[in-house]
Structure 1
């Protein structure tokens, strides 16, 4: 964090004379990093001559400017909460809101967030190992949700967590091998092939070339053989076994 004095405005940016600046102000706070409060112009939130504490977002070595966020430090309790969240920590909270872009979680012991319904946030891929069409297929508001901290994001003012990290990996539960034959439903058809569920929460792709012109539709049962397993990329290549 850096401290300084508001020196003026450049359009919607706030210029800050940092405490170690020799003359001209080198600190700059872009409009979107000024405050959680809604405003028409930053002068409604900060005044020239005001002392300010802000978090460093980036340093432009060539231009000599320091990009700052006063919003990150505006709520002292929230900033302290974010600084205390470490990657790998296990936290628990209550699902506060479910959106198509992710899920907000009200973490136990968190301070109120100035904008969001909770400081915890779960991205859609981090909800579950299962395929879901929408996050509300995985969680519901009011549900208790344990998760593992991925990162604390002071830019957004949230703790990014993964619920999936604390769930058993279905690839460990079902030790599939190349050459195995399985039967499962087609879960999705696309121009390049069809996905088939070969075990609970495990799907593989039958490429259109391997279908050989055979028409398949969602829900149809297929008997398939595992041709290739790419565990790092979590991909399974299949071919019809009939």
Structure 2
């Protein structure tokens, strides 16, 4: 028996197959990718509108800003585990089931989008107002300023907050997995914890850490290269 079999006796038999380690990794990657993609697009849009419609924005509109701001605050304040339970009927209506990786996407997206939107807003507000004023003086439209100034000047910071959000999503997928969402969280709880197979729990945690460190490394690399 080699050292791997000694350290992880319960992991080897479930490395592949239904509910195994490789499938759990794939489910976590699936939930993380699509949540990051959908919530990323929605979060950027909402974040931009928050910046544009605040009192000092290019399209200042207090009622619109108030509504968006309160929606973001409400969804950010709801603990994710409660959001999972509250959205279960809605999730079943959309995807036909309340369990599994695809079902977990609904609460993951709704829980992540407000968080990322606020991060986008804060990132864009760090841009020098003088640059924006100069763009206005040149006669650029609000849409042109968004693409040529806000998104270009704030790209490095947007990448940083995007990395922070993706890492947060990985943690949320683990929580979703603990209540039937699949992935490494389900592996750690349903197999490792409930069956007293600590080596399975350790392996799930190790792979989650690898994902986090890898995403952080890639994000920092891009952010440094694009910083100007």
Scaled to the shorter chain, the TM-score interval is under 0.3
Report the TM-score, using the length of structure 2 for normalisation.
Answer: 0.23
From the CA coordinates, give the structure whose radius of gyration is larger.
1
